[in-house]
Amino acid sequence: MAKKWLRIGHRLAPWRWRILASAFIFIALLGAGILFHLSAQDTAPDPAYYQQHAAEMLSGYRHAEVASVADAEEQLYGKRMYMSHRMDSLFPTKFAGYAVTVKLAKQENHDPNALNGMLTAIDHGEKDSVYVMSVEDGGNIAGMGGLMGTAMSVRDFAGAVIDGGVRDVAYLRKIRFPVYATGIVPSTAVGHYRFAGSNIPITCDGVPVSPGDIVSADQDGVVVVPRASAAEVLVRAQQLDFEEHSMYPWIERMKSISEAVKRFHRI
């Protein structure tokens, strides 16, 4: 049989050999991709697994793309849990952690202790916390700056999300502590705001956040996942990530996004 194929091979022109070789390579790659896809689906953790392994679930969120998490929540529950374009980061970053919520109420005062509660929330925060603050009408008020960011950093917070302004950005960038905020301003909350509660349900840039919810952020923005549905959302987000990244080489090979969408049934 081998001699027969060798005789056939000698009669084939070089350009035909190249066509055959390309065809064999394409079929092999396609078959390997299908097998890998099926294998990945068979071995991927399910929601029950993540519910029992919180550390691995958080690790999963640190790798999942925020866009996929946002899509997963919308597909599963019909809810938009992502923050608006106003919420921007001080530098490109990616993190995920558990929400520690803080609320500031607008109130002129001369009380030196008016904001102590927001500092206590930091000092009581645990590793992997995300400081989520709502500053009433706070677009032009800095809800946090370098001192608070330093305290969060040394306590191993994952990051901070401020529905309001942020200041001391040069220092925050220097220590590489991730902060999302709706603006950069030089102002202070001291004398103008009062602590109104921590680890309570709040609304941050239009999104409801409860203590312990998962907050995930990357260069696409910030999304919040209620803790009760976090495992199911993560599994769906991982599926979406896998499908999208499987489409990139297909589009490059076929030079057609329409054909890729028909094959993978998503865009």
Of 68, 99, 59, nearest to 224 (Cα)?
99
Going 86 to 211 to 137 to 154, the CA torsion angle's sign is: negative
Is the pLDDT at 21 greater than 90? The verdict is no
Buried b (16+ CB within 10 A) or exposed e, 107-119: eeeeeeebbebbe
Higher pLDDT among residues 223 and 256, named by residue: 223
Question: Which domains does the chain show, CATH number per domain?
Answer: 82-225 (3.50.30.40)
- What are 189-246's pLDDT values in tens digits? 999 999 999 999 999 999 999 999 999 999 999 999 999 999 999 999 999 999 888 8
Residue with token string 């396609």 = 30
pLDDT band at 100 (very low <50, low <70, confident <90, very high): very high
What value does the mean pLDDT take over residues 235-262? 83
Q: What is the pLDDT of residue 246?
A: 82
Reported confidence tier of residue 23, pLDDT bands at 50, 70, 90? very low
Q: What are the two backbone dihedrals, phi and then psi, of residue 180, each rounded to the nearest 5 degrees?
A: -105, 135
The model's pLDDT over 62-98, given as tens digits with 9 standing for 90+, comes to 999 999 999 999 999 999 999 999 999 999 999 999 9
| The predicted structure's pLDDT at residue 70 | 98
pLDDT tens digits along 153-203: 999 999 999 999 999 999 999 999 999 999 999 999 999 999 999 999 999
Residue by residue, DSSP assigns the chain as -HHHHHHHHHHS-HHHHHHHHHHHHHHHHHHHHHHHHHHHHHHSPPHHHHHH-HHHHHHHHHHS-HHHHHHHHHHHHS---B--TT-EESSS--EEEEEEEEEEEE-----TTTTHHHHHHHHTPPTTEEEEEEETT-TTSEEE-HHHHHHHHHTT--EEEEEEEE--HHHHHHHT--EEEEEE-----TTTEEEEEESS-EEETTEEE-TT-EEEEETTEEEEE-GGGHHHHHHHHHHHHHHHHHHHHHHHHHT-HHHHHHHH---
Residues of the chain with pLDDT > 70: what percent?
82
**Range 125-129 average pLDDT:** 98
Please tell me the predicted confidence (pLDDT) of residue 16.
54
How far lies 226's CA from each of 100, 157, 267, in Å? 13, 19, 25
pLDDT(22) > 70: no
